[in-house]
Copies of this chain bind each other. A is one copy, B any other.
Amino acid sequence: MSSSYGGYGHQSQYAPSAPQQPPYSSYYQTSTSNVPPPSNSSSSYNYANVSSSGSSSFPPGTPQDVITSFQMVDRDRSGFIDERELQQALSSGFHRFNLSTIRLLMFLFKNPHQPLAVGPKEFAALWSCLGQWRGIFERYDKDRSGKIDPLELRDALYGIGYAVPGSVLQLLLSKYGDGSGRRVELCFDSFVECGMIIKGLTDKFKEKDTRYTGSATLSYDAFMTMVLPFLVSYD
């Protein structure tokens, strides 16, 4: 796509008319979305209740290649894999993700009983979610460049129900890129990271904005607790 990044200006031009909804609902949740946002079957992003105990197994119907990918890296048959192993396991089906993306994925899909490792259920949910993100990536990478440009990213997020203001996207994208100042293009790895950050933070905000007014009152604790999980560190 050749149109300029700045061109998408006001979100209102992309907001669908949705008279049955409160006036600001379209602000961060579009209503024309025909594609559900990626989520796994158990609960969206599994912030909590993934499995009931330390021991877990693959859900019925898990494709064999998913099971094989997991088992190949779980060499000690502990039933859990760490971040490096997850990186390796996912690379067989998707992409060699950066460790920052892996850490974000681990956080979002963690098993509360084993927060530093991923078990079969979490792995299957994560794989399924990444498959959905890949479908979106391919659908919106219209020029088949293997990269998503800012306009394609905006369209992709809009397509799954998130009408993100241009200024917000620009700020997010300023964190990516090679430092040359050239227009940022996202590979699948960064696309997933951006998508999960936008979806995750927006969903968290919406939990506090139950009437969809476009604003929310947050305590300091709630604010910090919402935000800190999305910071990824390299110790």
Could you say which of A49-57, A60-68, A172-180 contacts chain B? A172-180
**Contact B181–A116 (Cβ < 8 Å):** yes
- A167 interfacial by beta-carbon distance below 8 Å: yes
Q: How far is the CA of A168 from the CA of B187 in the complex (A)?
A: 33
**Contact A215–B205 (Cβ < 8 Å):** no
Write the chain B residue with the least CB distance to A216: B218
Q: Work out how many copies of this chain go into the complex.
A: 2
Count chain A residues whose beta carbon lies closer than 8 angstroms to a beta carbon of B: 54
Q: How far is the CA of A186 from the CA of B218 in the complex (A)?
A: 29
Query: Known interface pairs A233-B100, A233-B193. Does A172 touch B228 (Cβ–Cβ under 8 Å)?
Result: yes
Which of B83, B100, B215, B229 makes the CB contact (< 8 A) with A179?
Answer: B83
- A190 interfacial by beta-carbon distance below 8 Å: yes
Which of B175, B202, B221, B232 makes the CB contact (< 8 A) with A175?
Answer: B232
A206-233 residues with Cβ-Cβ distance < 8 A to B are: 209, 214-221, 223-225, 227-233
Query: Known interface pairs A190-B233, A219-B214. Does A225 touch B167 (Cβ–Cβ under 8 Å)?
Result: yes
Identify the A interface with B (CB < 8 A). Answer: 27-28, 82-83, 98-100, 103, 115-116, 164-165, 167-168, 171-172, 174-181, 184, 186-187, 190, 193, 197, 201-202, 205, 209, 214-221, 223-225, 227-235
Q: List 6 A-B contacts (CB under 8 A).
A: A100-B234, A175-B232, A190-B233, A193-B233, A214-B220, A231-B231
**Contact B179–A228 (Cβ < 8 Å):** no
Q: Which residues of B contact A228 (CB under 8 A)?
A: 168, 171-172, 175, 197
- Interface of chain A, helix or strand or loop or mixed? mixed
**Contact B209–A220 (Cβ < 8 Å):** yes
Query: Known interface pairs A100-B233, A201-B227, A225-B171. Does A179 touch B116 (Cβ–Cβ under 8 Å)?
Result: yes
Q: How far is the CA of A110 from the CA of B187 in the complex (A)?
A: 26
Which of B83, B186, B205, B225 makes the CB contact (< 8 A) with A223?
Answer: B205
Q: How far is the CA of A233 from the CA of B98 in the complex (A)?
A: 10
Q: Which residues of B contact A98 (CB under 8 A)?
A: 234-235
Query: Known interface pairs A215-B219, A217-B216. Does A235 touch B115 (Cβ–Cβ under 8 Å)?
Result: no
